Structure 1
Amino acid sequence: MKKKQKPWVWTLHTHKRALRIMKAIVVLFLIGIVQAYSATSYSQEKQVNLKLNNVKIIQVISALEEQSNYKFFFSPQSMDVNQTVSIDAKNENIEDVLDELFGQSNVAYRIIDNQVILTTKEVTVTNAQQQTHKISGSVVDVNGEPLPGVNVYEKSNPTNGVITGIDGTYSIEVSSVDAILAFSYIGFEPQEVNVSSRTTIDITLVEEFTDLNEVVVVGYGTKKKVNLTGAVATIEGQALENRPTDNILKSLQGTVPGVTIIDRPGGTSINIRGRGTFAGASSPLYIVDGIEVSSDFFNNLDPTTVENISFLKDAASASIYGAKAAYGVVLVTTKQGKKEALRVTYNGSYGAQKATYLPEVLNSWQYADMYRTSELNSGIEEANLRYSTQDVQKYKDGSDPDLYPNSNWFDLVLEPSAMFTKHSLNISGGAERVQYLFGIGYQRDESLTPGEGTDRYNFLSKTSADLKDWLTVSTNINFIYKKYDRTLGGASLTEFLRVPPTQVARHTNGEWGSIRDFRQATAEEINYNPLRTLMEKGRGNSDTRHLLTNMMAILKPFEGFKFTNQLAYNYYDYRSFSFQNTMEGVPSYLNPNGGTIPGTASDVNQMDNYWLYNEKLIYDGWINYDREINGVHNIGVMIGMHADSWHQKHLDVGRKLFPSNDMNAIDGGSTDPDNQLTTEGSFTEETSLSYFGRATYDYNGRYLLEANFRADASSRFANVGKWGYFPSVSAGWRLSEEAFMSDINWLDNLKIRASWGKNGNIKSVGLYDTYDTFSGAGTVYNGGTVLPILVEGRIANSNLTWEKTTTTDIGFDLSINKGIIGFVFDYYTRVTDDILVEQTDIPTETGISNLPYKNVGKVKNNGIELALTHQNQIGDFSYSVGVNMAYMNNEITDLGDGIDKLPPSSYWINQVGQPIGSFYMYEADGLYSTEDIANGDVVEFGGYEIEAGMVKLVDQNGDGEITGEDRTIVGSDVPDLTYGLNIDLNYKGFNLSMIGQGISGVKVYMDNEASQAFFNSSVPREWQLDNWTPENQDAQYPKLFKENDLRYQYNSIQSSYWLFNANYFRIKNITLGYTFPQHISNSIGLEKLRVFVSGDNLFTISGDKRMKDFDPERSSGRGYQLNMKTYTAGVSVTF
């Protein structure tokens, strides 16, 4: 029998605001509806032609399913499926056939959409049966959704039965108050209940364990999960819906082993199985509905429109995508219409967000007192100190804020919290031959910075029509519009840290601050006022439009054969605008009659308009042939081709001297060439051609084989290396299907699998790296005239070829007792070779600054991944717990030409035997103590005067002094261990879920703002109050010195003292929801009603205790934006 598929619930965010972009979306929406309803002309009633003699009823049902596309559902107790019947139907509809088949039997039928539910006809009650007991109630699943078509019958008399209605309700009369009521439903565990005189019985049915038969999306097709031989992880859309976030990647954190997702401001990043190259990003390939998209498009998909996401982690699963899949593939399938009645779903939520951490900075008197200490330690006399003890006291008592302010710039500029809202409206449904889904969504995110915020609009339209039994066509429109409004000042947190609390933001008379350290500030200092620049410097915005649309036709001319053609168009448009205002000068507080302070006015305004767009036309066509031989041999073959053409243009125009700050048109600026900021543009293009194929074989679901191959050609390469070839093979053995394992009843599945394959990384090669390049940036002086000339850029290497990865994966899958326990394990090795390395053997006398690349580098990653799950149901309570972990080791194994290491870049280096991008600096061994100094245990460094309380550097080579040769590898910013925790609890209508994520073995270098307390007039952090003194030799921060003191500079030298432990475990999300009982929802005209509250980034355990205001998901210590802690309340309504 076939499993009953539950209807999906679609959600997409929307908002009441009606902006111009919504007009365009509505037009697209209406077009999609017209498409759907015009296509319904194909939805004619299916006529049945069937002639069978002396066959079993089950064979007739199978024939009807195959010919009519109807699905039959029934209980074994409802009829004898082995009864012999004959039938002769010519061009009859399904009702006539069913009447002929069951008219004279005790079987009743009911048709709901394309589903036929068979039950036992109710028996007329005789006088001998008058002592009956009536019961009514409802049947729902564990999520509280009604289950129509459930068989409800009296166990002692199976002929006395009914089925639940479309709302899951039923009513039945049983023979006595002690009768046993049975509930059965295809795909769910049967359940029996003693009536015990009750008149109302509500039942929650639990799905049967079907994990092994789940279908998983893979490249150019789908496969049963049980038949997978590669390393593939899948997340269902329902899991995303239960975690209301604004970003898909945030919803996935901590859920998939080997997939590291870091939520950093400015963009959430994803990495599969670690960093693999130093020639570019090790980012995965993103595919949405079969089309390659950018990471930005993926990040801005509405999570509630996603049906499932598959992660292809090894070469066996990813090699079908060849040159772009070296570091994994993320496959997204969006939801689509079903064969069901019209369904409308609304989702809405509101919330607030605040910073996970704000820098805990000193107030003005603490700053002044700490600065005094630094000057005293640097030998400055009391009379020459910037702040006296009296000044410190004045800052402390706050009696004169115009001269002795206490300016916390974070409090002055930022709002304590910011609001956000998300709304969606979805319409879906379908008939026998046509299905549709339309959705619009809106999301608004305010910023902590006043005047800044982001609006995002999503539109999705999907239609599918079976024009003929052998022809299906579909269309897909996915449109995203995003607008970001910003100010031109005050946004960077670096500015807040670079202005001391002793500078006035705004005087009590309303004028902008002109005082720093109780004296008149310089013009430069005044102009650095973050509050002033926020309010007066100017405005800007950026618009992003992203359209992904495709048309697909699937032909099935005969059994087992399928020909798929897909034509897609991918369009991206980015526009930004900024206008920097003229600004009036700031008057002097100390000399109010002296006019404005010179240098504080900005007399020149300026505008910049930037536009970039790109578009890609894509064709994919592939043929599938699948055949089963003798019921045990299953063979599949797929061959196809891919072609695309991409081009991009950009234009940047800037002008000065506009007559008004209110101008919005670029032509309002000066036409004088000296007042033109910029006028530039570019055009780039790329084409590619690919051929691919797959062959699969399995013997009786026990022995599994698969081979993939792809050949890619790209215009990036010269003829020598234009084509790349990427094969893979994999195999699986399901031991649980062997005869010698048949008596182990608790073992659902035990599969061993292995794979090997190659992939390419085209992203490491620039569009024109195989061509000589020139620029017009040079000039020459000729007879008193300056002439522009072409300057040679990078010398081409026509022998450049693809960067390649070779991956070997061995793993096993285990399932016990119908999925109560599940375990997945993988061990892999991934070797990346032919990595581009810039040549270093060309003499500098050639004048060539950009040296050519060569394919000589090699990197090896190896690691383990495991996932353990446990799920169970106890009465009305169900739960699931999942933990996952991945350990990864990264090592550079070759740099070519006998090179041991590449020239270091700042504090990074790539060196053989070490991870990519290792921290390369001096190793620190704490701070010098007074005992070290007294014993002469000091290592000299370049003439610096070493004393107690200064950073103690390690002499690596033991030559008695610290030199550049003593720098060494001291860690990496790539975690070697990632782990996650997922908990889901359900009780009746209540649901509580939690997701946690952690990383270990990672460091972050906190440079200037950590190592230099007063860097560029920076305000120190509270943790730096714990600085070294003879009485506090266990301090976290070295001895203080003035910023121009050589000892201050020595302490801030790049060393491991300023490396911070970035290990953390964070509760990424907690959601509590309640789904109202069906009878309550129905009483107010709803199918489903759910309310929820949710929070993100609520709790964090950090590995480093020094900086309590440090968010470990941040990438560095300078110029960062803030991570957000969010609180959300929302509702989901289905009509």
Structure 2
Amino acid sequence: MKKNRRSTFSGSRKFLFALFALFLSLSATAQMVTVKGQVADTAGEPIIGASIKENGTTNGTITNFDGNFELQVNEGALLTISYIGYTTIEVKATANMVVTLKEDTELLDEVVVIGYGSVKRKDVTTSISSVSTKDLDIRPIVSAGQAIQGKAAGVSVIQPNGSPGAELSIRVRGTTSFNGSNDPLYVVDGVPVDNIGFLSANDIESMQILKDASSAAIYGARAANGVIIITTKGGAKNEAKISFNAQLTLSRVSEKIKPLNAQQYKDLQDEIGMISLPENLKDQTDWFDEAYSTGVMQSYQASVSNGNDKTQYFLSGGYLDEKGVLNTAFYKRYNFRANIDSELRKWLRVNANVSYSDYVNNGVQTGLGANRGGVVLSVINTPSYAPIWDPNNEGQYYNQFYGINNITNPLENMERDKYRRNRENRLIASGSATITFMPELTFKSSFTLDRRNALSTTFLDPISTAWGRENYGTASDNRNQNTVITFDNVLNFNKNFNKHGLDVMLGTSWTDSDYRNSWINGSHFRDSIIQTLNAANKISWDGTGTSISQWGINSYMGRVSYNFASKYLVTANMRMDGSSKLHPDHRWGTFPSFSAAWRMSSEAFMSNLEWLDDLKIRGGWGQTGNQSGIGDYSYLLLYNISRQEWWKEGQQNALPNISQANLRTKDLTWETTTQTNFGIDFTAFNNRLTITADYYYKKTTDMLMYVSLPAGQGASSITRNEGEMVNKGFEFAVNSKNIQGVFNWSTDFNISFNRNKLTKLELQKIYTAAKTSDFTNENVVRNEPGRPLGGFYGYISDGVNPETGELIYRDINKDGKISASDRTYIGDPNPDFIYGLTNTFSWKNLNLTVFIQGSYGNDIFNASRIETEGMYDGKNQSTRVLNRWKIPGQITNVPKAGFDLKNSTYFIEDGSYLRVKDISLSYNLQLPFLKKAGISRLQPYFTATNLLTWTKYKGMDPEVNQWGNSGAVQGIDWGTYPHSKSFVFGVNVEF
């Protein structure tokens, strides 16, 4: 019997080998056929660039200018034919084919990512804006936040200065907090992060902005300023792809403020009468040419992706190197990303996302915190008769300005930043496991580590600069590490019962933060070449220290969504958050939200409107919280410790001095924003026209603020819930496909109106800020109830007195004299509206995009003019002072030299602007040898950025705020690093 079994097995094996050999033989001799055809739309117009792919292989091609294609495939193959905006189809290959693609009218079924889940766009009940990512790889985007500017209604994106790597100020529906953070919460692949400077725009797949409380409330404590959800790219099944993007950007300063030449400077100083200058002054140095040059940015990004039915992956890496228009300014970034998604079992899917970035800049200081206004102002303020180097002291910058001690030449100012380094590396690693108990019920558990290491160093040699010589060289080293751990667990149930749809989510979230900081300062370097604190001969005993702080949040959340036939939709959210930053008796906050929508277009009485695709009315209400922007132990009574020199003679028993730092806040609780939203979504003409309109009302209560205390309280300040603020507005967005066919033209337009008002302050009624000149010595910003945030405060100037040459200041209180009581509100930095307009044109393989962005109705306090037109000391001035008053009876708008200088409307300017932000031209090359080389995309492109700006503003650029991302201070220009006009040359390649 055993022998028979062996014989049977042996025969079976021979049969299988024979069958396998036959299969190989048949495969080897399988016939290939040549398929020719044309792809067109329903109007018969050829579609250029449509993708034709043989199923189950990487074999494919795209249509040419006439919509024609030719491809060799296996006999009987199935072809997948697709094009953006049209429905993908599968057809059997034949020798001669005519394929018609229909427009994709199912865009309403596009999936939109929301908090801890996703939903079809047609079933959205809240206010969500999607930002197009299709042109990100042809724009010179350094920070991913730039992709949002002008692209989403209700979202203001300002780059307060043009320095390399500068952070953005992003506001979703206005400023909601006074001292707290006004930044939106960023959620990248489900991970909450505080900024997105680490993220390469080329890695972004989609961006959704949750604007109203009913959409953002699911993030509760961190969503008061809106939520920006970013999903990065992943691999696709059976689509092996290698992508490469290279950019070269050349930048120049758009506007130049011209200073006085040597003789004009002497004439001015003779009038002021403060210094005596020789008669033979001659121009020696053009400080603008010495300080400014052509900025250059190089950017290289590469990625590979692939996948099968079980596992998909995406790997990317990039390098960005930006040299600014100021010669010492720079920014460099290295970034790496790995996204892996795998179905281990039918019931278990795991995901891992790892992102690492390393970026460094030198943080060129201008205006606030800079030496005498920084480089931008010193370019104008330094007299042109001065040389760069001191002829009597080798290696020293010239500073012998005829007895004037408040001028520092621009190159010495840049030397102060030359060896400044602000470096940070950031690792974000997250992993998740999703268990499918049944098709309707899933459980997802995710864990994230966000670790940031930052190092800031400075060095001044003991020779070049005056400050360096005074201290025999100085250096500093400041290090900090921040580790944030997040652990989320979410249960989702999604079930359709005939016409009923139910989506239920329950979850918990736990976040823990650990921050550590150390700093050291040293001076007295013997050798200027050695740039390390080890070479310092004097370490500052009172300028050295360490700190540590921790905070945590624990959260419980839930959501229920119900819809009937996608016609009547209701969603309710609830989240509870507990924060360690707040007092134990008040640290838990509950943040509910509700929203509903009615799809009128699904009603029977509208069924005969064939041109109407969708009409939906939305409404929602909700609350969100904020606890950012305050210290980790703000509710506690804290103390300051001052070291004592116990080692000195007679001080052997000295102990550290301990003093009270603040008052304890026993009722410190959440800052809460309550928002109501009403909206309409309208889509018609086969998705060729989409209109969205929203009205909102936001009220922030219990604002977290730092309040100054009267003398005698034992401390100078307290952190408390202090006031209330309101934002209300209207936003409108339109997308239209104007022309479709061989030539395509589409338009995206959005406009946003927001009105802000500080409505209540309890303990301290008035807050002032922003002293922009030592000469005027007054704050120019004043905040009090009843006014918009950030109002400018000063004197009203009614022009120049023809007889005296003085500015005429208005006597507000009619007491016959000009005094501090005559100050009033003189300007508002908040715009009436902001807008963006994008027109995209394509003809065959040629694509043109024109993006226009602007702001209207905002004022700017041009504090730079105090230093360049103030004529109050020995600094050089701009050529505008050539029109200054000189003789009685002269009619001019520039006062005399040495006029009575005050913060006034003289320095208030209209900051409205209309800017051609980007013009991008690209071409998709389609050549036979590219196909043979396996290159599916070769797209050279050219982009001009900030090409044209129409504005009445006299400064270098109207998109400005020297106070950066501040909520309380906006719209001040004080020697701010200017924006540039840039020209980008690049190429996209895909294999």
TM-score (normalised: structure 1): 0.75
Q: Which amino acid aligns with 2:723?
A: G
The structure-2 alpha-carbon separation of the partners of 1:607 and 1:206, relative to structure 1 and needing over 3 Å to count, comes to farther
Q: Which amino acid aligns with 1:1074?
A: Y
Distance in 2 of aligned mates of 1:713 and 1:766: 16
Distance in 2 of aligned mates of 1:510 and 1:572: 44
Give the structure 2 partner of residue 273 of structure 1.
173
The structure-2 alpha-carbon separation of the partners of 1:243 and 1:289, relative to structure 1 and needing over 3 Å to count, comes to same
Give the structure 2 partner of residue 493 of structure 1.
376
Give the structure 2 partner of residue 1100 of structure 1.
949
How do 1:417-496 and structure 2 match up within 5 A? 417-484=294-361, 492-496=375-379
Q: Does 1:639 align with 2:506?
A: yes
How do 1:46-445 and structure 2 match up within 5 A? 136=37, 145-148=49-52, 166-168=60-62, 170=69, 207-265=103-161, 266-295=166-195, 298-375=196-273, 386-387=276-277, 391=279, 394-395=280-281, 404-415=282-293, 417-445=294-322
Give the structure 2 partner of residue 660 of structure 1.
527
Distance in 1 of aligned mates of 2:405 and 2:769: 35
Is contact 2:339–2:353 with CA below 8 Å preserved after alignment? yes
Aligned alpha-carbon RMSD (Å): 3.6
Give the structure 2 partner of residue 1035 of structure 1.
892
Q: Report deviation, 1:846.
A: 3.3
Distance in 1 of aligned mates of 2:706 and 2:417: 42
Partner SS for 1:253: coil
1:50-83 CA-to-partner distances (Å, cap 9, x unmatched) read xxxxxxxxxxxxxxxxxxxxxxxxxxxxxxxxxx
Distance in 2 of aligned mates of 1:509 and 1:1039: 37
Q: Report deviation, 1:520.
A: 7.3
Q: Does 1:651 align with 2:518?
A: yes
Q: Which amino acid aligns with 1:725?
A: T
Partner SS for 1:372: helix
874, 878, 883: which one aligns with 1:1017 = 874
Distance in 1 of aligned mates of 2:797 and 2:852: 33
Give the structure 2 partner of residue 795 of structure 1.
663
The structure-2 alpha-carbon separation of the partners of 1:143 and 1:262, relative to structure 1 and needing over 3 Å to count, comes to farther
Distance in 1 of aligned mates of 2:49 and 2:203: 19
Partner SS for 1:651: strand
Q: Report deviation, 1:407.
A: 2.6
Q: Which amino acid aligns with 1:557?
A: F
Partner SS for 1:1037: coil
Give the structure 1 partner of residue 834 of structure 2.
978
Which 10-residue stretch deviates more, 528-537 or 223-232?
Answer: 528-537
Give the structure 1 partner of residue 684 of structure 2.
816
Is contact 2:180–2:704 with CA below 8 Å preserved after alignment? no
How do 1:1042-1057 and structure 2 match up within 5 A? 1048=899, 1050=900, 1052-1057=901-906
Q: Report deviation, 1:134.
A: 9.6
Q: Which amino acid aligns with 2:504?
A: V
Give the structure 2 partner of residue 551 of structure 1.
431
1:548-594 CA-to-partner distances (Å, cap 9, x unmatched) read 110010111112001011000000011122222121799xxxxxxxx
Distance in 2 of aligned mates of 1:950 and 1:585: 38
Give the structure 1 partner of residue 24 of structure 2.
none
The structure-2 alpha-carbon separation of the partners of 1:1130 and 1:994, relative to structure 1 and needing over 3 Å to count, comes to same
Distance in 1 of aligned mates of 2:505 and 2:46: 39
The structure-2 alpha-carbon separation of the partners of 1:143 and 1:717, relative to structure 1 and needing over 3 Å to count, comes to farther
Partner SS for 1:965: helix
Distance in 1 of aligned mates of 2:499 and 2:468: 84
Distance in 2 of aligned mates of 1:469 and 1:356: 58
Distance in 2 of aligned mates of 1:907 and 1:714: 36
1:489-547 CA-to-partner distances (Å, cap 9, x unmatched) read 9973233344222322247899678988xx87459579x34335656996232321011
Q: Report deviation, 1:242.
A: 4.1
Q: Report deviation, 1:740.
A: 0.2
Is contact 1:459–1:478 with CA below 8 Å preserved after alignment? yes
Is contact 2:404–2:874 with CA below 8 Å preserved after alignment? no
The structure-2 alpha-carbon separation of the partners of 1:813 and 1:142, relative to structure 1 and needing over 3 Å to count, comes to farther
Q: Which amino acid aligns with 1:654?
A: N
Is contact 1:369–1:387 with CA below 8 Å preserved after alignment? no
Give the structure 1 partner of residue 776 of structure 2.
none
Distance in 2 of aligned mates of 1:191 and 1:147: 10
Distance in 1 of aligned mates of 2:207 and 2:657: 52
The structure-2 alpha-carbon separation of the partners of 1:773 and 1:745, relative to structure 1 and needing over 3 Å to count, comes to same
Q: Report deviation, 1:262.
A: 0.8
Give the structure 2 partner of residue 52 of structure 1.
none
Partner SS for 2:145: helix
Q: Does 1:1060 align with 2:943?
A: no
Q: Report deviation, 1:885.
A: 0.7
Identity %: 26
The structure-2 alpha-carbon separation of the partners of 1:1053 and 1:485, relative to structure 1 and needing over 3 Å to count, comes to closer
Distance in 2 of aligned mates of 1:604 and 1:610: 20
The structure-2 alpha-carbon separation of the partners of 1:703 and 1:515, relative to structure 1 and needing over 3 Å to count, comes to closer
Distance in 1 of aligned mates of 2:335 and 2:637: 42
Give the structure 1 partner of residue 633 of structure 2.
768
| Uncovered stretches (5+) of structure 1, i.e. residues with no partner | 1-109, 111-121, 125-132, 152-162, 174-181, 193-198, 396-403, 587-598, 931-946, 1042-1047
Give the structure 1 partner of residue 789 of structure 2.
916
Q: Does 1:950 align with 2:806?
A: yes
Is contact 1:350–1:419 with CA below 8 Å preserved after alignment? yes
The structure-2 alpha-carbon separation of the partners of 1:185 and 1:540, relative to structure 1 and needing over 3 Å to count, comes to closer
TM-score (normalised: structure 2): 0.85
The structure-2 alpha-carbon separation of the partners of 1:606 and 1:317, relative to structure 1 and needing over 3 Å to count, comes to same
Q: Report deviation, 1:644.
A: 1.2
1:219-240 CA-to-partner distances (Å, cap 9, x unmatched) read 1111111111111001132132
The structure-2 alpha-carbon separation of the partners of 1:647 and 1:164, relative to structure 1 and needing over 3 Å to count, comes to closer
The structure-2 alpha-carbon separation of the partners of 1:510 and 1:762, relative to structure 1 and needing over 3 Å to count, comes to closer
Which 10-residue stretch deviates more, 278-287 or 428-437?
Answer: 278-287
Distance in 2 of aligned mates of 1:778 and 1:1088: 65
Distance in 2 of aligned mates of 1:520 and 1:709: 66
1:340-369 CA-to-partner distances (Å, cap 9, x unmatched) read 232111111112112233332222222222
Distance in 2 of aligned mates of 1:678 and 1:143: 68
Is contact 1:143–1:1075 with CA below 8 Å preserved after alignment? no
How do 1:679-828 and structure 2 match up within 5 A? 679-777=544-642, 785=651, 787-828=655-696
Distance in 2 of aligned mates of 1:498 and 1:916: 32
Give the structure 2 partner of residue 606 of structure 1.
474
Distance in 2 of aligned mates of 1:507 and 1:658: 22
Q: Which amino acid aligns with 1:443?
A: L
Q: Which amino acid aligns with 1:972?
A: D
Q: Which amino acid aligns with 1:893?
A: T
Give the structure 1 partner of residue 752 of structure 2.
886
| Uncovered stretches (5+) of structure 2, i.e. residues with no partner | 1-26, 64-68, 73-78, 90-94, 771-778, 963-971
Is contact 2:490–2:506 with CA below 8 Å preserved after alignment? yes
Q: Which amino acid aligns with 2:817?
A: E
Q: Which amino acid aligns with 2:815?
A: D
Q: Which amino acid aligns with 1:750?
A: L
Q: Which amino acid aligns with 2:960?
A: E
Partner SS for 2:238: coil
Give the structure 2 partner of residue 844 of structure 1.
711
Distance in 2 of aligned mates of 1:843 and 1:1109: 41
Partner SS for 1:621: strand
Is contact 1:607–1:666 with CA below 8 Å preserved after alignment? yes
Is contact 1:142–1:986 with CA below 8 Å preserved after alignment? no
Q: Report deviation, 1:718.
A: 1.7
Aligned pair count reads 912
Q: Report deviation, 1:373.
A: 4.0
1:923-955 CA-to-partner distances (Å, cap 9, x unmatched) read 22223344xxxxxxxxxxxxxxxx3x3222222
Q: Report deviation, 1:1030.
A: 5.2
Distance in 1 of aligned mates of 2:436 and 2:396: 76
